[in-house]
Structure 1
Amino acid sequence: MWNAEYVRRGVVLSLAASVVQGYATLRGLDAQLEIAQQTLASRAKGLDIFRQRYEGGVISQVELSQAENDYFSTEAAIPPLRTAIAQTENALSVLLGREPGPIERGKTVHELLPPPAGADLPAALLSRRPDVLQAEQSAIAANAQLGAAQALYLPAVNLSGLFGAIASTPGALWHSASQVWSVGAGLTQPIFQGGAIRGQVQTASAQRQQAMLAYQGTVLAALADVNSALANSIETRNRLVSLRQQEKSLVVYADQSGARYEGGYSSYLEVTTAQEKLFDAQLAAVQGQVDVLTGAAALYKSLGGGWPAVPQDVREAGMQGDAKVLRR
């Protein structure tokens, strides 16, 4: 029963994380498509101006070709984005258990803010993970099996039937199982033939050891999973800060290069280079935001269901010693 419940919890947890990651990806693609369409519209206006200038003999064929290249390269970036959006919508629909199709939109990717990761994340949070709970229950069950096997060494005693035998043989119940068994007919005879009980105890002991090793291995794997998720969460946030700074710098670069060109201080190649870099940086910044959101979802999953509201009992258990998780 508990095994099926933990499997169900694991499926629900994975599903929730996948839906969040899918929606963040979808809204990121929406933002990138919007950037591409706005850039295309801007370059279409610029291309019209350049064609008029070329026809008037103001600019050369080289400059017109550069403007055309900018326009068509941006135009070519749009179909893959639309395809990716449709694919992501279909994947999300399947996750939500409905027919493939459009997904209703809510907040933009920039409005989707992950909860801040607290500085105190007790290792006891791992005890909520379905895989850790499942391994823990397996270890408990193995301990119970060992106790049951060891109990077979103790014969079932009918005290009223043995009263006379015990009275004439003081301490008989505290002898070895074989000695007690020979006391009299009041004992329900355990099966000692061929070391059967000893074999059961050894088997149960081996199963217990295997279950404990499996539990420790599961906890270690969970710790590694959380560590990786935390590292990814931190580094994706750091990267996003850098990407946004780069985007701001390239906005200035593109504006200045355009002004320099119009003033006759540089060629149009400088303008093209600046605009391409800005376009790529804008797309990268959006992807950086998506990475932060998907990283937060992965951390949520690795911690067995998030961290903003850590239950008090879990937090206290962590404060008393996170290492207890490994010693169970």
Structure 2
Amino acid sequence: MNDTLSSRLKHGALAGTAAALLCGCADVSMKPYQRPDTPTKGAWSSQQGLPVAPAEMIAPDWWKQFRDPYLDGLVERALNANFDLKILAARRRVAGAEIDEARAGALPTLDAGAGASFEKSTGQKFTKQFNLGTQVNWEIDVWGKVAKGVEAQTAEFNATEADWRAGYLTLVSDVSTTYFQIMQFDEQIDQQQKTLAKNREILATYEAMMGQGLVPQTRVLQQRAEINRMSNDLIELGRLRALAGNALATLLGAPAGEFKVPTGSLRQRVELPTVPEGLPSQLLKRRPDIVAAEYRVLVAYDLVGQAKLAQLPSVSLTGRGGTSSFALGSLLKSFTFGLLPSINFPIFDPGVKARLKTSEARTEVAEQQYRRVVIAAFEEVENALINLDAHRRQRIELQQQSEQLGVVAAQVEAQLKEGMVSQLEVFEAQRTLLSSQLALLANHQQILSDTVTLYKALGGGWPPVDVRNAARY
């Protein structure tokens, strides 16, 4: 009998040693986290003469540089009421709560229960029994598996924080550009109405001349068709203005149709910003969407570490205590207590290996997504620089064109008084001038929108963020 027991103990010791050796062969090493390599961007293709402030000079409330108090009020209202931003804030709170949930995995759990049983059999006395018991379970985080999970969830929280910042920046940009469009439509409608009035005067002149046999009927019909076209364009401008107003209402968290922007003039209400030249550095650390993507790479990195640590033995401690009695009054007079430490070796668990492979594959996905966000950011900045530079140069040409056409219109009107030209030539000169002014107005709106887009592409006024593992703070 003693030989049998001794043999069993030897076999158990050998099995435990073999399991420890198997676990010791598991690769749980992790290289220090490094930002995924991406194509580098040494310089931007177009910088000279662009109204872009150095990074440290981009204020968080950069939209106030447009000097429009009404726009400031719209942005403040949107930041307080926009539902997309509220959703991002709620996700951030969820991620914060999940940090505590992950941290709770390293804490012991306590269960308590009470019960009673009543039994009556034929020929036997009625019996009753009462019991009270507790149990403590604690899986000790010897290798740091839970801690690694906390690090991963902390990185996810930081990613949701960056998501909120990106949503904040997108919201301000959308509110600003939509407001600029509405103001542009208002000026276009005003100019279109003036142009339409001029063309109706031309039509009246043509009709009078046709009555005198000076112009054919086809000329009158052509002018009427031109008025029809311009009236149609005016209706279209009104439609676009209404749609832009609905879009702005949604951004402000108001039902479409219940919020109206007062009629205004873009060039009178919104100033072109005059800020120092120079492009901010550290784009990869300033853009919230890039920061969020890198934090999710860190999440995947930590989950790989957690999956590797799952290959090691788990140590747990179970404690039980309780009492039972046939009488409720004597229930608390005696207690029993037990302590059961245990260690479990994952000798063969296909799920552990599969989870590790899945985590490693997800890391690759996160890294490629990060690279995609970086490449898209480079394109967005370059496009904004190109658009802003081209529109600023076009503005010079359009201003010169408008000034020259203004001189022409004034001279033609002076020549009319001397009888050197007809009234029709005056109308034509004025109509051409109005057309050039509309082009200059559209250019003003494009520069404003380009400036907003560039600030957004450069990360707005958010400070640089160093993505690091939570354990290093």
Structure 1 segment 1-328 matched on structure 2, within 5 A:
1=95, 2=157, 4-40=160-196, 50=205, 60-61=214-215, 69=223, 72=227, 76=231, 77-99=233-255, 100-101=257-258, 102-104=260-262, 108-116=266-274, 118-155=276-313, 188-193=343-348, 197-266=352-421, 270-304=425-459, 306-307=460-461, 311=463, 314=464
Q: Where does structure 2 lack aligned partners over 5 or more consecutive residues?
A: 1-94, 96-156, 317-340, 467-473
- Once the two structures are superposed, residues 164-198 of structure 1 have per-residue CA deviations (whole angstroms, 9 ceiling, x without a partner) of xxxxxxxxxxxxxxxxxxxxxx9945313277655
User: How many Å separate the matches in 2 of 1:87 and 1:31?
Assistant: 16
User: How many Å separate the matches in 1 of 2:245 and 2:169?
Assistant: 20
Q: 1:60 to 1:259 in 2, by over 3 A?
A: farther
The amino acid that maps onto 2:270 is L
User: How many Å separate the matches in 1 of 2:443 and 2:365?
Assistant: 43
Q: 1:36 to 1:86 in 2, by over 3 A?
A: same
Give the match for residue 323 of structure 1: none
8 A contact 1:155–1:187 mirrored in 2:
no
Aligned length: 282
Deviation at 1:23, TM superposition (A): 1.0
8 A contact 1:36–1:74 mirrored in 2:
no
8 A contact 1:251–1:278 mirrored in 2:
yes
User: How many Å separate the matches in 1 of 2:395 and 2:388?
Assistant: 11
Superposed CA RMSD: 4.0
User: How many Å separate the matches in 1 of 2:380 and 2:397?
Assistant: 26
8 A contact 1:152–1:190 mirrored in 2:
no
Deviation at 1:13, TM superposition (A): 2.9
User: How many Å separate the matches in 2 of 1:55 and 1:61?
Assistant: 5
8 A contact 1:142–1:211 mirrored in 2:
yes
8 A contact 2:200–2:227 mirrored in 1:
no
Q: 1:82 to 1:148 in 2, by over 3 A?
A: closer
Q: Where does structure 1 lack aligned partners over 5 or more consecutive residues?
A: 159-185, 318-328
The amino acid that maps onto 2:386 is A
8 A contact 1:110–1:289 mirrored in 2:
no
Q: 1:52 to 1:143 in 2, by over 3 A?
A: closer
User: How many Å separate the matches in 2 of 1:87 and 1:196?
Assistant: 54
User: How many Å separate the matches in 1 of 2:162 and 2:199?
Assistant: 55
User: How many Å separate the matches in 2 of 1:115 and 1:190?
Assistant: 66
Deviation at 1:105, TM superposition (A): 5.0
* Greater Rg by CA: 2
User: How many Å separate the matches in 1 of 2:362 and 2:210?
Assistant: 86
Higher helix share: 1
8 A contact 2:290–2:370 mirrored in 1:
yes
Deviation at 1:231, TM superposition (A): 1.8
8 A contact 2:162–2:291 mirrored in 1:
yes
The amino acid that maps onto 2:436 is A
Deviation at 1:225, TM superposition (A): 1.5
User: How many Å separate the matches in 1 of 2:310 and 2:209?
Assistant: 100
Deviation at 1:250, TM superposition (A): 1.0
- Once the two structures are superposed, residues 76-111 of structure 1 have per-residue CA deviations (whole angstroms, 9 ceiling, x without a partner) of 254333333333223322322223142135664343
The amino acid that maps onto 1:104 is P
Deviation at 1:252, TM superposition (A): 1.3
- Once the two structures are superposed, residues 237-288 of structure 1 have per-residue CA deviations (whole angstroms, 9 ceiling, x without a partner) of 2222222221111111222233345545456664454333212111111111
Q: 1:188 to 1:75 in 2, by over 3 A?
A: closer
User: How many Å separate the matches in 1 of 2:285 and 2:291?
Assistant: 6
User: How many Å separate the matches in 1 of 2:246 and 2:365?
Assistant: 43
Q: 1:219 to 1:192 in 2, by over 3 A?
A: farther
Q: TM-score if structure 2 supplies the norm length?
A: 0.50
8 A contact 2:160–2:292 mirrored in 1:
no
Higher strand share: 2
The amino acid that maps onto 1:131 is D
Q: Percent identity?
A: 28
The amino acid that maps onto 2:378 is L
Deviation at 1:4, TM superposition (A): 4.7
User: How many Å separate the matches in 2 of 1:196 and 1:91?
Assistant: 49
The amino acid that maps onto 1:26 is I
8 A contact 2:284–2:374 mirrored in 1:
yes
Deviation at 1:132, TM superposition (A): 1.7
Q: 1:12 to 1:266 in 2, by over 3 A?
A: same
8 A contact 2:203–2:223 mirrored in 1:
no
User: How many Å separate the matches in 2 of 1:244 and 1:61?
Assistant: 35
